[in-house]
A = this chain, B = another copy of it.
Amino acid sequence: MSGKGFFLFVTVLILGACGTDKHHNCQFDFTKGLEKVASGVWKAEIGNPDKVNLLSELDFNPKIDAINNIEEAELPVDKAEITAEVFDGKTYIRFPLDKEEKIYGLGLNFQSVQQRGRIARLHVDHYGGSDNGRTHAPVPFFVSSKGYGVLINAARYIDVYAGTSVRKDTKNPPVLYNRNTDRDWSAQPYSDNLEFLVSAEGVELVFFSGKSMLDVVRRFNLYNGGGVLPPKWGLGFWHRVPTLFSEEQVKEEVGEFKKRGFPLSVIGLEPGWMTRAYPCTYQWDPGRFPNPEAFVKDMAAQNIKVNLWVNPGVAPDCEIALEIEPYTGTHTEWNGMLPDYSMAQTKKIMGDHFSRNAIDKGVSGFKMDENDGYDFWVAPDVAKYPSGISGEQMRQIYGSLMQSFMAGLYRRKNERTYGLVRAGNAGTTSYPFVIYNDYYNHRDFITALINSSFIGVLWTPEVRASKTSEEWLRRMQAVCFSPLAMLNAWADGTKPWSFADVEEQVRQVMMLRMSLIPYLYTTFAHYAFDGIPPVRAMCLEPGCEADPKDQFMVGESLLVAPLFAGETSRKVILPKGKWYDFYTGDFVGDGVTVSVEPGLDKIPVFVKDGGIIPMYEPMTTLPEGPVPVSVRHYGVKASSFDLYDDDGRTYDYENGVYTWIRLVADPAVASGKATVLDDGTIWSFNDYEFKFMTK
């Protein structure tokens, strides 16, 4: 935030270059102005962009090499039809839309997948029940079905008119009606525009091309640092205890999991772990947690990690309150000071405090609440921050900054973390945090899961409470196929066995989640190395043009179609190619929509022809060291699957310390083999099942 004198000079110069004042059009020429930064990635700098943008304050490296490995693709759009100009202190941007073109992305939406026809103001906020742009991750990135996408890289509230506005000079005018007498009159005439308005005197645009929408998304994810690779334990089952639980109560609850044979990887403590919350001290309450270090060790001895709730506001009686005060914003949140996490001093002071109180005591990570806002919180837009970041900018990146900060604390210890966060934006793809919220519509939770795959964020449809055992089981089934499988019982005190009549079914799907860790871990490795979202919208799957709101892909081969309370059957859209029932191996269909009636016990899961699914043997906690893996093969196609493995907990994999094991199966000869690619070790296997040990 330095060099302000120079900044003023540049401002005037650029205005001057446009030949007049701020009301003049500074038209940008996209036929000439795109700067290539990697294969299928171009930048355009319109006007005089803000110094602070969605990526500028974050710590990650774009994975340019991996981007360059993706098949080359031109921008499938007439650049002369794209316009951008600075006017009235704002940046106006327009992309042309073809008749059949579909638009995806534009934030973590909960009720819609395809976005053409929508008007939104992208604005970090808790989700309020309608897809109007206010959401936990209003990532200003769209993916077009034509095979390109654009990031509007501005830490600003961004207005979007996605195929709603009609220009007077359009080449594709809507039909002219007379509402008096034409029944076809529509309140929303045809529009060939995708228009954006950014409240800044310039903006950086980043264009991504791809032979498929998936390739566009991959390039976007890799540009944002590539996906997170969680520690293996992060992919197990999570449970959060009621807010005022003491260490004895937590131990009892953990014991109950063991006694009942329910899996558990991570136990989450809520605000009551601290002496004060809302605002926070981030210091252990000596009454409820007299010996936190021993408590964390005790959990670790049972292969259970401890995760702690925090929110942004620093209490006046926090040990470092006086020290942090100069690096906090003008406004408080529930009496808490709001650290400016863009500043080195803040990271040092808060980092030392979190390390001393939690990380160095073995705490595995955090649930970072309420950095999404809601206008009453985080601080109003009239707030200012000591770095010079404005309230509006900070609102758009506060969650990103907290993610970057916390990830950094673990990274410097060479320990991976995995946790939860209420806000993200572009640039957070590589950070080990999964978004959650207070909303609780199960259908919408699944739609959010699908939408997360367009915009480089992760989402969990966490389970909290349910009205019926049916709803409980349906929610548990779905969350076990998400990036973070969690029962968040902070308010309700529910347990996985709270609904006795479905206790065994819940246990079974939780056990299945544990078993799927090898498959999921490889899935995340492809997120990290190749930018492929671990959970994907159906329209990112080859052979599928549909965009249902209630089914999704997990990893390479699994198609998950959850049921919701009250349903006994549902439609499932199967992309082209043969699909098989995950539980029975039976053929289900090929490029058709089928109706399934799975019964209450099962969540419908389908496997692509040739799908190879490596699975752990049943277990309730994830031990350190090697774990036996068994492998399933589905369908009739001879196929292979490269299973990723590493130490599961450090960043050494970034320096090449990992293994790929090639699993090959050929149903024609009913046998297969596994080859460790780096040392050439080979195992044979028959009947599409064999066992070996992971690291």
Contacts and interface: CB of A to CB of B under 8 A. Distances in A.
Contact of A87 (B21, B87, B376, B390): B390
Interface stretch (A53-61, A332-340, A581-589, A674-682): A332-340
Interface of A is mostly: loop
A271 B379 CA distance: 47
B195 A382 contact: yes
Copies of chain A in the complex: 2
Nearest to A334: B189
Interface stretch (A33-41, A166-174, A454-462, A563-571): A166-174
B89 A180 contact: no
A49 to B, nearest CB: 13
Which of A8, A15, A179, A180 has the largest count of B CB atoms less than 10 A from its CB?
A180
A168 B391 CA distance: 14
A188 B20 contact: no
A276 B178 contact: yes
A150 interface: no
A89 B200 contact: yes
Contact of A381 (B159, B176, B328, B335): B159
A274 to B, nearest CB: 7
Contacts of A384: 87, 92
B159 A88 contact: no
Interface in A478-510: none
A178 B22 contact: no
Contacts of A12: 12
13 contacts: A1-B23, A7-B21, A90-B392, A164-B376, A165-B379, A165-B382, A176-B279, A177-B335, A179-B271, A180-B285, A185-B334, A187-B376, A199-B199
Given A119-B375, A188-B376, 13 more contacts: A11-B22, A89-B199, A89-B201, A90-B390, A119-B376, A159-B382, A166-B331, A168-B328, A176-B279, A176-B335, A177-B335, A178-B276, A180-B274
A618 interface: no
A540 interface: no
Contacts of A285: 180
Interface in A159-211: 159, 161, 164-169, 173-174, 176-181, 185, 187-189, 195-197, 199-201
Contact of A176 (B7, B195, B316): B316
A394 B178 CA distance: 26
A421 interface: no
Contacts of A636: none
Contact of A392 (B88, B329, B335): B88
Nearest to A119: B375
B278 A179 contact: yes
Interface residues on A, range: 35 or more
Contacts of A656: none
Nearest to A315: B176
A234 interface: no
A196 B382 CA distance: 7
Interface in A199-254: 199-201, 243-244
Given A168-B337, A332-B167, A380-B161, A180 B271 contact: yes
Contact of A168 (B168, B274, B331): B331
Contacts of A89: 89, 199-201
A164 B331 contact: no
Contacts of A20: 4-5, 8
Nearest to A120: B375
A24 interface: yes
Contact of A331 (B5, B24, B165, B180): B165
Contacts of A185: 278, 334
Contacts of A119: 375-376, 380
A24 B90 CA distance: 19
Contacts of A181: 244
B393 A178 contact: no
